[in-house]
Structures are given as C-alpha cells and as structure tokens.
Amino acid sequence: MQAHMMEWLNLSVRWIHMITGVAWIGASFYFVWLENNLNRVNPRDGLSGDLWAIHGGGIYHLEKYKLAPPTMPDNLHWFKWEAYFTWMSGVALLCVVFYANPTLYLLAPGSGLSGAEGVAIGIGSLIAGWFIYDVLCDSALGKRPALLGLVLFIALIAAAFGFSKIFSGRGAYLHVGAIIGTIMVGNVFRIIMPAQRALVAAIAENRTPDPSLPAKGLLRSRHNNYFTLPVLFIMISNHFPSTYGSQYNWLILAGIAVLAVLVRHYFNTRHNSHKYAWTLPVAALGMICLAYVTGPAQVSKTPEVAGPAKIEYQPLPETALGGHRADPAAAPVEPAAPAAPKVTQAAGPDFNQVHSVIKERCAVCHSANPTSPLFSAAPAGVMFDTAQQIQQMAPRIQAQAVVSQIMPLGNITQMTQQERDLIGAWIDQGARTN
C-alpha cells in the first residue's frame, strides 16, 4: 500500500507540474511572439505598436503602450501564478522522486555521499544557482548579452558535469533543470513582478515611471524564453536513458541545449528576417549526430571471456530484492550481496542463462506482480515475465542494464559486470530465445 500511495502522489504532483508548466511556457511563448509581431509603423500617440489577430472565431486588437496608459484600467491581468506553481510543484516532485529516497534514485552508486548530504547539495545548488545568475546579470556582463549567455551556459554545463560525478544520470539532469527553473521563477518574483508593480504604482501616483525597470524585466523575460526548450528536454529526458545514462551525459546535455537555443533564436527573430533559418537543419543534423555517437555500437563492451559464462545462481535474500525497506522514505539498509556465481564456459549465449539473470536481478520489479515493496505495479509497464517480453525489450535492456548500467536502480539486486556482459553478448547475437 505504501508503494501504491507513493506512486499516486508522484502522479498527482507530476500532473500539476505539467499543467502549470504548460501554462507558464505557453504565456512566455505568446508574449515574446506578441512583442516580435507588433506593428510599429506610425503607431498611435503613446503606443509602441499594435497587432490585429483572429482566433477562436473572434478578432482581437492588442495595443502596447510605450510605458503605460494615462490612467490605469480597473481590471489588469497579471501573469505570475503559473510560474510560482510550476516551481513549487517542481520542488515537490524533487522531494517525492529523489529526496524521499536519495540512496535509491538520487545518488550514483559509489558516490560516497550519505542521503542527507546528497539532498543538501541538491537544495544548495538551487539557491547558489539563482544568486550566481543574478550577480552575473547585474555585473558588466549584463550589458553584453551574448557573452553573458556564454558564461551562463558554461556554468550550467559545469554544474551538470559536477552532478554527474555524485548523482545518478537522472538526478544530475533533473537538478540542472531545477537550477534553470529556479532562475526562471526568480526572474519573475525578483525582477519582472517588482518592475511591473513599480510601473503601476507610478501611474497611480501620477508620476513618470522609471523606464529602466520595465527594460530590465523585459531582458529577464527574454532569458526565460531561451531557457524554456532546454528545460522541456530535461523534463522528458528520464524516458531516454541513452542521454542521461551515458558516460558523457553532461556533454549530451550541452549539445542538446545548444541546439534548442538555436531553434528558439530562429523563432524569436524570424519576424525581422529568416537569416537564422539555417539553425533548423543544423539542429536536425545535430540530433542525428548525437543519436549516432551515443549508439550502443559506439560504447558497448565485449565480454573478455572466450565464450559467454554459464552461471549457476543461488536465490537472493529478500533484502536484496528490495525488501530492505517497506517505507520508501525510510533510511535504506545496505542490501545483502549475493553469493558469487559459479562460472563454467559455454558454447554461446544461452537464453536460459539470460533468463535466470533477468529473473533474479530485474523481474523483482518488472513483473506483473513485483516482489519488491517499492512498486505495486511494473515501472513504466515493462515486464519480464515471459521470453517474448524479454526479447521485445532487448534494446531497452541493452541501453539501461548493459550500456548505461543505470538499472537495476541503485543496483539493489547486485547485478554483476559478468551478468551484464552475458546479456549484452546475447543481444549482440540476435537475442534469440530458442
């Protein structure tokens, strides 16, 4: 029941995060589009431009003032809660997925950190990320947007590299995304909203608004706009172990972030010209290149033994199958190491050997009826109960258990390198079940 309730808590928080994130990013995209498409030719006095649009069977006329109208309207719509709830739900999701069970999901095996230390580093990085960003923006770099962007990019990739040494691949990626999300909501809370309140107050008090504050708010809004596509990738990256599970996951993240920013820049500038249209085919080519260099053929290991090992197994104790804690939030107990397998040489990879490994190491979670109390149902619906299911999932098994070795989670069932090599050899020779 505990695992079932945690799953539904995860679902609820993740759904809220997605809904509010769509609202926030959608508003950001729309207002950047609106700013870029204003008609600025001979605007009416006091306006910087206007725009006519049709949507949903109606025609709209939008006007933007240079600063503000002579008198404030009775009803003025503010855009802030989308950002706030996205960030709050995102932090709640970090707590549910990573911080409630840091030794299982957050920390990399052998990192040497305790769960509390990992959580402290994660939370501290969010706070430090915002203050470093804010100081850089207010420094002389703030007047050189391109150089500032380069420095921020290097700082974020350096954080990704550091996280990859102590966190799991998923944990590293999600914490980079959390830093960016914290920067974005910090821009809204600390810069954009105060600038807007100062503008409204100046109009209400019949004094000339300070034009520097809205300009600063607009700049930070632009930063948020360029951050959105990398953040969206990070949000879905947990479904793609060939990215976060790679030995060079931080470089893959850097590459995808560059491609995402290039695409965003084209859409931000195409109202003036299409001189950045080259970014679209370059981004497509870049994704193809990343897919190639991260392919299993580039990084997979060949077993060093003359033939795949024939392994005789002894049943694992219940604690090694995930039974070491019924409460996912409880402090973990070090799982008991399985007995060393007895190895003899075999003529070739035999499915019965592979099936034995997967049954002992993987099916405790990935089964119609998981024996691990951490899950009430098979994660992501992936089950290894039959030979056909194992064969169909062979590419994913290779990506997650052989190449990236991110599965089993935290290696709680103590899968050995010899067993991973056996599975890899079986898959390389066709993943036959007969």
Boundary (domain end) residue, out of 294, 324, 355: 294
| 59 inside domain | no
Q: Number of structural domains, the chain?
A: 2
Treating both helix axes as pointing N-terminal to C-terminal, what angle do 2-36 and 81-94 enclose, rounded to 10 degrees? 150
- Residue 62 resides in a domain: no
**Bridge partner list, 54:** 59
Does 232 share its domain with 146?
yes
Provide the whole-model pTM.
0.74
Of the three residues 239, 269, 294, the one that is the final residue of a domain is: 294
Same domain, 251 and 141: yes
**Does residue 241 share a domain with residue 181?**
yes
Count the Cβ atoms, other than its own, within 10 Å of residue 257.
Answer: 23
Indicate whether 351 and 266 sit together in one domain: no
Does 290 share its domain with 314?
no
Is 396 domain-assigned? yes
Residues whose CB falls within 8 Å of the CB of residue 256, separated by 6 or more in sequence, listed in order: 230, 233, 243, 287, 290
- In this structure, are 221 and 314 located in the same domain? no
Do 261 and 313 sit in the same domain of this protein?
no
Is 34 part of a structural domain of the chain?
A: no
Query: Is 194:204 a contact under the CB 8 Å cutoff?
Result: no
Residue 421 maps to a domain: yes
Q: Please name which of 250, 198, 247, 191 lies closest in space to residue 219, comparing C-alpha atoms.
A: 191
Give the distance, in angstroms, between the CA of residue 131 and the centroid of all CA atoms in the same chain. Answer: 21
Whether residue 236 sits in one domain with residue 185: yes
Q: How many Å apart are CA 276 and CA 268, to the nearest integer?
A: 10
Beta bridge pairs of residue 343:
311
Is the CB of residue 231 less than 8 Å from the CB of residue 156? no
CB 399 within 8 A of CB 245: yes
Q: Among 266, 294, 322, which residue terminates a domain?
A: 294
Residue 144 lies in a domain: yes
* Spatial CA neighbour of 336 closest among 358, 315, 306: 315
Residue pLDDT tens, the chain, 434 long: 566 787 788 889 999 999 999 999 999 889 888 888 899 998 888 899 999 999 998 999 999 988 778 888 888 889 899 999 999 999 999 999 899 888 878 888 778 899 999 999 999 999 999 999 999 999 998 889 889 999 999 999 999 999 999 998 889 999 999 999 999 999 999 999 998 898 888 888 888 778 788 788 888 988 999 999 999 999 998 888 778 878 889 999 999 999 999 999 998 888 778 889 999 999 999 999 998 888 765 444 444 433 444 444 444 444 444 434 334 444 444 444 444 444 444 456 788 888 889 888 898 888 888 887 767 677 766 888 888 888 888 888 887 788 777 788 767 788 888 888 889 889 888 888 87
Residues 230, 142 within the same domain = yes
> CA 70 → CA 76, 206, 208, distances in Å?
14, 8, 10
Classify residue 194: in a domain, yes or no. yes
Q: Quote the domain boundaries for residue 189.
A: 2-29+81-294
Residues 395, 261, single domain; the answer is no
Please indicate, yes or no, whether residues 399 and 362 belong to a single structural domain of this protein: yes
CA gap 88, 378 in Å, rounded: 29
Task: State whether 316 and 286 are in the same domain.
Answer: no
Q: What distance lies between CA 133 and its chain's CA centroid?
A: 20
pLDDT number for residue 112? 85
Q: Do the bridges between strand 309-312 and strand 342-345 make them parallel or antiparallel, or are there none, so unpaired? A: antiparallel
**418 assigned to some structural domain:** yes
